[in-house]
DNA sequence: AACATATTTTTGCGCGCGTAAAATTTCGAT
DNA sequence: ATCGAAATTTTACGCGCGCAAAAATATGTT
């Protein structure tokens, strides 16, 4: 394209020979105009440097092309990865994903929600923090914006997509009981519904197998899970207060911290001879396969969760309001057997 | 606040008893109006639900309150963490950070840049992909938007903030040579200027100490560094083609993969007796302290890089164009001695 | 060639707010 | 109480585009 700069659609209309309303139609959806017109516009676009003003567009359109994405903690690889996939999906569908992270703080979550709302997005995909969320704010948001909730099933929005903890945890408990000492369960203060469900699922699974559930709750409510796993792990090992040599952690990051604690204390982790501990996680975080030993865990189907969430949201956005019930799509976890348990 | 919804500033002007231009001033900068006026506005804000329309604001203001942030790969914990800090800084200063990730792809980087440009941000903080970036697009962007480049020193923008590889790498090389066999250097195909600088710094440091530099370049150009480290590590160990028992990796993620390879092959890593390998990294990634053994590395000062980048950008934005030269701020790395080397 | 239909053009208003200039009010200091 | 500076109000226009309705034109069919 040449150096010619076009200020607005009016000017571009002049140089391209297409009327402004038609141009408006074209930019909204290039396929909505006649092929010959489309060609004319596009050849003009190659010659002149013009992009419609985003703000002017969105000010007047009732439906923007923006998709809001909100996660509780973007530096968590689970969310980083799932956001990556969601973003890709949105872009491919011609939408503008915009990502917010609450950084683990209620105030920032509310802030992000308010900002997002004022962006008048076509839809939103949110993973609420859970217990630390401001339910009223969430509700006010989902009342206005078509929203799919993922990962953490807070009872707002038009649908939920996540993992079935009541399938995945028993899967792991069964495996651990079958192959060694029944596991105890290491959890953090339950920051979201998943944490509670996982603990309950653990207890139920243990009782069903005739074992006493042993839940160890750690202190600390921030998002430095590995650090908590390490510190609490060292403490538990020093105090010899682990009720079992097999520990199921409520998520992989906690397990990674616990692995580090075991290493520091000279305890060999794994299921072979000479191993003092078995450690298992949940989620199959991106780097769980690279721990030493590699972490046995239950995988969440990241891709499936991302794709289904986006798919459902698009359905809702295009007016398929037929659903009476708020659907809850739960994916099954798969056992990922590695060396740690 | 009550259920009363206010549609626009006009209506809010009526119910608050403050004229619209003054309200406009208030929302632009609450301190720019008289204290009594500010109080009146704020008490009205508690009673009525109103937020100025973002699009209308930005359409008319020459300078928006938006700050663009672009990183090559948000799922990389280094960037996730630094973005987290940058975002916080911006919010505290009353700006609106908006985060983009190129997901390692040139097309997406260009896309993000184009979107960002049309957002007319007050400034931008970008970490270009480097070799895979489209230099012309970067230049066109930085010509229009006041930009600070961080992490990867591509020669665009008004300033650069990053780490001094020529200080940090020799620091590690010195340490490794002093305490054992001189290291070989494991790198990936150089995706950005840092990779090249680190290799060169390694070679220079080795030669200065009278040793032969041994560079091992791995295959694979994607962002799955750990996987590459694992696969290449297994191959190198199987082939017995490691030129030294001490391996300095060009970054922690590669080192983490290599640790996994060593574990898999039954090689004990560390500097104690009975250890077959020493492995060191670079960056002090958030989870390097949780590996087994904990990773010896050189820390990058995340917080300093984030804070200085933002600080410089704000300076540029407020018109301190005095700088003739494009300043390059390089932070020194600190040796982080852990158990792996 | 004549017609029905689809598409484009013309015209003109509206969105919510920024901003400028002049008139008015408020405030603090004397 | 008086005055001048500072803040606010009044008035009015502009930003770039969406959108609606009517008129004009293009397209495809028989």
- Within-domain flag for B97: yes
Residues B177 and B291 in one domain: yes
Q: Does residue B324 form part of some domain?
A: yes
Q: B263 — contact with chain A (CB < 8 Å)? A: yes
- CB-based contact (8 Å) between A111 and chain B? yes
Asked, for residue A59, whether it belongs to a domain, the answer is no
- B207, B291: one domain: yes
B279 CB within 8 Å of a chain A CB? no
Q: Is the CB of B33 under 7 A from strand D?
A: yes
**Quick one: pLDDT at residue A64?**
81
Q: How far apart are the first and last CA of chain B?
A: 59
A73 and A134 together in one domain: yes
User: Distance between CA atoms of B10 and B15, rounded to whole angstroms?
Assistant: 9
CA distance A174 to B77: 33
A258 CA – D14 C1', rounded, Å: 63
Beta carbons of B82 and B163 less than 8 angstroms apart: no
* CB contact B287 to A (< 8 Å): yes
Counted domains in chain A: 3
Q: Is A113 found in the same domain as A70?
A: yes
Q: Is the dihedral of CA A121, A125, A129, A131 positive or negative?
A: positive
Which of strand C's nucleotides are less than 7 A from any protein C-beta? 7-12, 14-21, 26-27
Strand D neighbours among B 50-109, CB < 7 A: 59-60
Q: Show which of residues 79-98 on chain B sit within 8 Å of chain A, judged by CB atoms.
A: 80-81, 83-84, 87-88, 91, 96, 98
Residues A159, A187: one domain? no
Whole-angstrom distance, CA of residue B335 vs CA of residue B297: 6
Could you tell me if B175 and B217 lie in one domain? yes
Residue spans of alpha helices (H) in B133-192: 135-144, 165-179
Q: Which residues of chain B does A121 touch, with a Cβ-Cβ cutoff of 8 Å?
A: none
Nearest CA-CA partner of B132 in B74, B86, B81, B195: B195
> Which residues of chain A are modeled with pLDDT < 50?
1, 3
d(CA B66, CA A160): 32
Other beta carbons within 10 Å of B132? 15
Q: Are B117 and B66 in contact (CB under 8 A)?
A: no
> String of b and e for A94-129 (b: at least 16 CB within 10 Å)?
ebbbbbbbbbbbeebbbebbebbbebbbbbbbbbbb
Same domain, A239 and A172: yes
Residue A274 falls inside a structural domain: yes
Q: Is the CB of A22 under 7 A from strand C?
A: yes
Q: Are A163 and A300 in contact (CB under 8 A)?
A: yes
- Whether residue A115 is contained in a domain is answered as yes
Residue B256 shares a structural domain with residue B216: yes
Residues B274-302: b if buried by 16+ CB within 10 A, e if exposed: ebebbbbbbbbbbbbbbbbbbbbbbbbeb
Name the DSSP class of B119.
T
Q: How many CA atoms lie within 13 A of A259 on its CB side?
A: 33
Residue B293 to residue A263, Cβ atoms within 8 A:
yes
| Residue A4 within any structural domain of the chain | no
In angstroms, the CA B328 to CA A75 distance is: 27
CB contact under 8 A, A286 and B59: no
pLDDT at A96 (0 to 100): 86
- Chain A nearest C-alpha distance from B258 (Å): 9
Does B42 reside within a domain? yes
Query: Residue B144's pLDDT is what?
Result: 87
Residues B294 and B201 in one domain: yes
Shortest distance, CA B246 to any CA of chain A (angstroms)? 19
pLDDT at A320: 65
Residue to test with chain A: of B3, B52, B67, B74, most A Cβ within 10 A? B74
Residues A207 and A275 in one domain: yes
pLDDT in tens, A13-39: 999 899 999 999 998 888 888 899 999
Token pair for A134:
């401001």
Q: How far apart are CA B178 and CA A277, in angstroms?
A: 36
Distance from CA of A332 to the nearest CA of B (A): 24
Range of the domain at A189: 165-299
Residue B17 dihedral angles phi and psi, to the nearest 5° = 75, 15
How close are the terminal C-alpha atoms of chain A, in Å? 60
CA proximity to A171, closest of A191, A196, A198? A198
How far in angstroms lies nucleotide C16's C1' from the CA of residue B6?
12
For position B147, which CATH number holds? 3.40.50.2300
Q: Give the closest of A54, A56, A287 to B226, CB-based.
A: A287
Contact predicate B252/B336, CB 8 Å: no
Q: Output the CA–CA distances (angstroms, integers) from residue A171 to A183, A200, A203, A303, B227, in the order listed.
A: 12, 14, 13, 21, 27
Does one domain contain both B140 and B96?
A: yes
Tokens of B211: 């040793």
Same domain for B263 and B273: yes
pLDDT tens for chain B, 341 residues: list them. 454 678 889 999 999 999 999 999 999 888 889 999 999 999 998 888 888 988 899 888 877 888 999 999 998 889 999 999 999 899 888 888 889 999 889 999 998 998 888 888 999 999 999 888 999 999 999 998 999 999 999 999 999 999 999 999 999 999 999 999 999 999 988 778 888 999 999 999 999 999 999 999 988 778 889 999 999 999 999 999 999 999 999 999 999 999 999 999 999 999 988 899 999 999 999 989 999 999 999 998 889 999 999 999 999 887 766 567 889 999 999 999 999 99
Q: Return d(Cα A154, Cα A328) in angstroms, integer.
A: 11
B276 at the A interface (CB within 8 A)?
A: no
CA of A109, C1' of C4: distance in angstroms: 57
Whether the CB-CB separation of B121 and B137 falls below 8 Å is answered with: no
Residue B1 maps to a domain? no
Q: Cβ within 7 Å of strand C: which of B 18-77? A: 20-21, 23-24, 27-28, 34, 36, 52-53, 56-57, 59-62
A276 lies within 8 A of chain B by CB: no
- The answer to whether residues A73 and A112 touch, using CB atoms and an 8 Å cutoff, is no
What pLDDT sits at residue B221?
72
Taking the C-alpha atoms of residue B111 and residue B106, their distance in angstroms, rounded to an integer, is 9
Using a CB–CB cutoff of 8 Å, tell me whether B58 touches chain A: yes
B184 inside 8 A of chain A by CB:
no
């Amino acid at each position: 394209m040449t150096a010619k700069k076009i200020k607005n659609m009016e000017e571009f209309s002049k140089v391209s020979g297409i009327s402004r309303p038609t141009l408006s139609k074209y930019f909204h959806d290039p396929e909505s105009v006649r092929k010959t017109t489309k060609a004319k516009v596009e050849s003009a676009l190659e010659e002149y440097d013009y992009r419609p003003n985003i703000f002017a567009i969105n000010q007047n359109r009732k439906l923007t092309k923006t998709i809001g994405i909100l996660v509780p903690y973007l530096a968590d690889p689970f969310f980083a990865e799932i956001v990556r996939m969601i973003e890709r999906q949105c872009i491919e569908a011609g939408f503008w994903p915009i990502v917010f992270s609450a950084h683990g703080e209620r105030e920032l979550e509310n802030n992000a929600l308010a900002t997002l709302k004022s962006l008048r997005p076509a839809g939103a995909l949110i993973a609420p923090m859970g217990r630390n969320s401001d339910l009223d704010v969430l509700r006010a948001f989902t009342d206005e914006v078509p929203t799919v909730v993922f990962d953490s099933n807070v009872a707002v929005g038009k649908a939920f997509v996540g993992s079935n903890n009541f399938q995945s945890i028993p899967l792991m408990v069964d495996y651990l009981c079958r192959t060694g000492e029944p596991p105890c369960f290491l959890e953090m203060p339950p920051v979201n519904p998943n944490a509670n469900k996982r603990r309950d699922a653990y207890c139920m699974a243990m009782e069903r197998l005739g074992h006493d559930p042993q839940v160890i709750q750690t202190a600390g409510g921030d998002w430095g899970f590995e650090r908590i796993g390490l510190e609490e792990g060292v403490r538990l090992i020093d105090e010899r207060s682990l009720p079992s040599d097999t520990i199921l952690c409520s998520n992989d990051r906690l397990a990674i911290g616990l692995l580090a604690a075991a290493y520091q204390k000279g305890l060999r982790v794994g299921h072979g001879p000479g191993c003092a501990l078995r450690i298992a996680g949940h989620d199959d975080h991106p780097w769980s396969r690279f721990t030493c030993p590699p972490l046995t865990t239950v995988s969440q189907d990241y891709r499936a969760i991302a794709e289904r969430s986006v798919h459902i949201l698009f359905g809702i956005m295009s007016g398929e309001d037929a659903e009476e019930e708020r659907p809850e799509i739960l994916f099954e976890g798969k056992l990922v057997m590695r060396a740690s348990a």
